[in-house]
A and B are shown apart, each in its own frame.
Chain A
């Protein structure tokens, strides 16, 4: 075994394993924080959260196309990022409209949580329909340039990559690539900024403290003079913002599709419940745990075994613990285990 093999194995592990886990973990975190805030303050599982993410991605895509057609190009910052504020604003407005016209009625009539869940399923239907109606049913690439005569020319995706080449110049036999795409880089930046900002907001501002108070005990908060209606609005603003960011960056990194976020719903719920309902930073921890577990359960260890113990293994069969098709089973298994053995989550959230 040589240093190069060790390096190859390590870089493969980081690139295909850790980086992937952190990417999907960031997406889950942004979604799960929104879910846990809604769960804690409005007290129901918001099934339409995934579609809010897709909605944000769709608006960002529309904005990107418009910006491209105006001839705006801000290399090295992806054009999609310029459209992000638009997506965030649209998703916030959407969330507030839904709350005002759908959930507010049931809140006023003190309906049981089941009614809210059912209603949010109805909202999912409507959002899914609208998303497909407006955005079509096909997949869409963010990195296409629309040319004026109606044809699209594919942009070089390579220019959105950040490559770490210096290792290759310093070691013989180093073949693995360490590549981060631009959207991934921005995803990490946004996640970090959003979470730090949220931490500051919840702990150091009046509104943030009011939110935590409502989450802990709504009636007590109300008689202490907290404007619960305003807290609910702020909750939707935060949830909508994070959902739009997550949806847009995920769509930029892979592609936009109408079912972008449906499969994210279960891992995000798993993360939120695991972190303890009403605990945003628990949800973040839960998101990264779920993402790591899921990524490494379907991670194929073959190349690493090949580098480290060349020829001593049968390399024909995949060395993943779980076949990739059953990826969704991993967050689900985590969810069930948490629900059975520690329903309050690992960070002692509320029991609803």
Chain B
């Protein structure tokens, strides 16, 4: 570690601990643990963004899309299948998939043929052909798809909490975390193929749009995600607080009174503690891997590309290809983080993904923490997340105090009825100010890159 950074790291750690203790004593120990584990999962996402932005200078404004895909993946892997729905619409859906695959293969074969065979096909003709095949495939499968979806969404199930979608695979949830990374990575490969090479602003606009489309799809594809009905519960890789409760009742007694945790909260606290341990292990492994990558020749090459694309290209580096690698790698981490978040909340709610919370807050974390530096990314994630959560109770406190004071001072003053929801907006302002202030006064973040 750079000695100049050492004091900054100490101060940063102290800040996080102070916020954590504030949550512990002002709210409750269980809430503080919840914030810590959410912060750790978010740190994985920020680590992913750090690879894209800090290592390679790619401006991804579509973080939300990868997080949501990761969240969907963990739901899909861990939730059991819904046999009634599969019986109703599974065959139709399979046929739709086959038809889509046939269409895709046709387009791909055409692409290969134009490339390899010695026929000189004009590009516009090739594109027109491919687009018409795509359209034909769409019309070919559309009716069948609508019927299958209708059947799945209306199939009667024994378990009402699983009604309306096809369910998942019913496999261990840790596998789901990994699959979350895979899904996000595959999506990133396609997105990167199309959008990399654009100027930074354009890349931001393009990725922002793709994220919105992914979100819209997950929200509206009820047969796949249950849409606004949400899927719950999603499993934990460790015993959930409820299972913990059962274990404690059956003889495993733990006394956490000395930590200020009441007997009722013990099961929740132990469960959350175990989850934090698993998240921390995942995070540490990922940080170590990324540090290795950053120090390797590959990492040096990435930074060279970031600092001067033209010079790196002149040295014979394949810039767009390297950027694609880095974009996919970063997205994988975002997917894993998104899967961890859904798993932690035991709930997959596609309509909960809002850009301010899942894209721009992540950016603020990285900028404040210090981009290009993995330690800075982790610090930024924990610090900004806790600041984000803690600014709400503080604002509530100030607002209701202020409203009481004004009511007492000014006769006839009536505070607005939605004071609580207005106060919760304060945190958005706090984050915005933190972002701009960092950009202005400490552009390299709290823990700068070495």
Contacts and interface: CB of A to CB of B under 8 A. Distances in A.
B201 A329 contact: no
- A contact face: mostly helix, strand, loop, or mixed: helix
Nearest to B59: A114
Given A122-B432, A124-B360, A125-B356, A115 B202 contact: no
Interface in A113-162: 113-115, 117-119, 121-126, 128-130, 132-133, 136-138
Interface in B29-53: none
A343 B201 contact: no
B418 A138 contact: yes
Contact of A133 (B200, B426, B432): B426
A129 B432 contact: yes
Contact of A115 (B217, B220, B432, B439): B439
B429 interface: yes
Interface residues of B, number: 45
Interface residues of A, number: 46
B213 A326 contact: yes
Interface string B204-234: 1110111011001101100000000000000
B87 interface: no
A124 B422 contact: no
B372 to A, nearest CB: 14
B201 A132 contact: no
B202 A122 contact: no
B440 interface: yes
Contacts of B202: 45, 273, 339, 343
Interface in A36-70: 39, 44-45
Given A117-B200, A336-B194, A343-B202, A328 B418 contact: no
Interface centre among B143, B201, B219, B429 (most CB of A within 10 A): B201
25 contacts: A45-B202, A45-B205, A113-B200, A114-B201, A118-B435, A122-B439, A123-B436, A124-B360, A125-B356, A125-B360, A125-B429, A125-B435, A128-B428, A129-B427, A129-B428, A132-B421, A132-B425, A133-B429, A137-B418, A137-B421, A266-B212, A332-B213, A335-B209, A336-B209, A352-B199
Given A45-B205, A340-B194, 4 more contacts: A44-B201, A125-B364, A126-B433, A352-B199
Contact of B205 (A122, A138, A269, A343): A269
Contacts of B220: 323, 325-326
B436 A122 contact: yes
A196 interface: no
Interface string B330-368: 000000000000000000000000011000100110010
A199 interface: no
A339 B198 CA distance: 8
A133 B425 contact: yes
Contacts of A339: 195, 198, 202, 206
Interface string A146-186: 00000000000000000000000000000000000000000
Most B CB contacts (10 A, CB to CB) among A113, A118, A328, A336 go to A118
A57 B440 CA distance: 30
B443 interface: yes
Q: What 8 A-B pairs have minimum CB-CB distances, sorted nearest first?
A: A125-B432, A129-B429, A126-B432, A122-B435, A332-B209, A129-B428, A132-B425, A122-B436
Interface in B155-203: 194-195, 198-202
A248 B308 CA distance: 44
Nearest to A137: B421
Contacts of A336: 194-195, 206, 209
Interface of B: 59, 143, 146, 194-195, 198-202, 204-206, 208-210, 212-213, 216-217, 219-220, 355-356, 360, 363-364, 367, 416, 418, 421-422, 425-429, 431-433, 435-436, 439-440, 443
Interface in A330-350: 331-332, 335-336, 339-340, 343
A130 B429 contact: yes
A317 interface: yes
B205 A335 contact: yes
B201 A113 contact: yes
B172 to A, nearest CB: 33
B206 A128 contact: no
A104 B206 CA distance: 27
Contact of A128 (B205, B213, B356): B356
Contacts of A125: 356, 360, 364, 428-429, 431-432, 435
Nearest to B422: A133
Contacts of A266: 205, 208-209, 212
A115 B443 contact: yes
A102 interface: yes
Nearest to B434: A122
Nearest to B431: A125
